[in-house]
Each structure stands twice: as structure tokens, then as C-alpha cells.
Amino acid sequence: MKLHEQPPAPTLARKLGDIAHVSGLAVRLAKLSGAGGRLPEWLMAVAIERGAKHYERQFDPGLPPDNPAISDEEIGIALCLEEHPYDLDRLRIAAQLLSSSRVDASRLCRLAVQERCEPVFLHIADLAAKYDSDQEPWATLRRKLPRRSVPRTDALPHWTRVVSHTGMTREGGPETHWLRRDE
């Protein structure tokens, strides 16, 4: 098979057994950011710049700069849209970016329902409950976000991918900490 004959990468929706929602938010952010068809890459770069430092990497310097008019909640939701090609890094980056007391949990709930991201955000919120049960916005999402099931959840991040897990240290045994946003 030649490179130009390769099938497109499956979307997150396909991996979850769900039907992709065409997102008005994605269309708006693609225009507002100036990223156009490079929106997924731009979202990752901006989220890392805003505090998801655990996933720091190099991005094309030709990407448009951050746009402060776009909220953290919108960036986080847009990273988790089911219409994007499947890439777990986007979900993990969103989890760290949104692990902040500065995030408006009510707005995040509303956007998650609007953009059909409830299964992704509830999965992340349920993982967060095991390591920091009171942490916002995840505690609010567990209480207020309606559960919408999808046929498969094995395509969502494993708990080990959203925490920092140390080995044995001088202070004692291993410790596991939820990856919070660097602020």
C-alpha cells in the first residue's frame, strides 16, 4: 500500500462505537484561532502552553499564537471532540489542562453536553475520583454531568496515563498523584 492510499485514521467516535458529532465549536475555534484544518495540533500546543506541561513537546512554529479570547473550557472540550482523529494524547492533555480550580465546572458541563463529550469527561472524572476525589472541576462533573453511555470505553485513557506514579523513594513507597495543571 502506498502512502497516499492509506485509509484515514479512525476518529475517537469510531473507537468508542459512537457516531461523530459535527461540532460547531470546532468550526468556530478553527476560524477564531486561525488554525483552520490544523485545529487539533493548535489545541494541543495552546493547552500545553497554558499549563499541561507534562505533555510538553515541539510544535510547528508556523502555528498561530494562542488566542486569549478562547477559554480553557473551550480548549479542553475541543481536544476531546469525537470527530477528531483518535489520539489519546489530546484526551490526556485536556485532563491536565482542566485540572484547575480556575475552570468553570458549570460551563464545562454545558459544553460537554453540547459537544457530546460526556463519556470522555465522565471517564476522566471517575479516574480523578480515585486520586483526588474533591478536585474540581471533576467532582462537579461527576455530580452534574448526565451519563451518556457509548458501546466501548476501552479506547479512553487508562488511569496510569493521567497520573504521576513514583517508584520507591527515600521517603517511602510509591506515590500516585493526579496530573494537575501547572499554574
pLDDT tens-digit series, residues 32-89: 999 999 999 999 999 999 999 988 889 999 999 999 999 999 999 999 999 998 999 9
Q: Looking at the domain assignment, is residue 108 inside a domain?
A: yes
Q: Which of 160, 161, 165, 162 is nearest to 176 (CA)?
A: 165
* pLDDT over 90 percentage in the chain: 60
- pTM comes to 0.88
DSSP E strand boundaries for the chain: 163-165, 176-178
Give the domain extent around 157: 8-178
Q: Looking at the domain assignment, is residue 43 inside a domain?
A: yes
Q: Is the peptide bond before 61 cis (omega within 30 degrees of 0)?
A: no
Residues sharing a CB contact under 8 Å with residue 72, sequence separation 6 or more, in sequence order: 50, 97, 98, 100, 102, 103
Q: Which of 66, 65, 83 is nearest to 16 (CA)?
A: 83
Quote the number of domains for the chain.
1
DSSP E strand boundaries for 32-168: 163-165
Q: Looking at the domain assignment, is residue 97 inside a domain?
A: yes
Q: Looking at the domain assignment, is residue 3 inside a domain?
A: no
Q: Looking at the domain assignment, is residue 1 inside a domain?
A: no
DSSP E strand boundaries for 2-135: none
Q: Looking at the domain assignment, is residue 183 inside a domain?
A: no
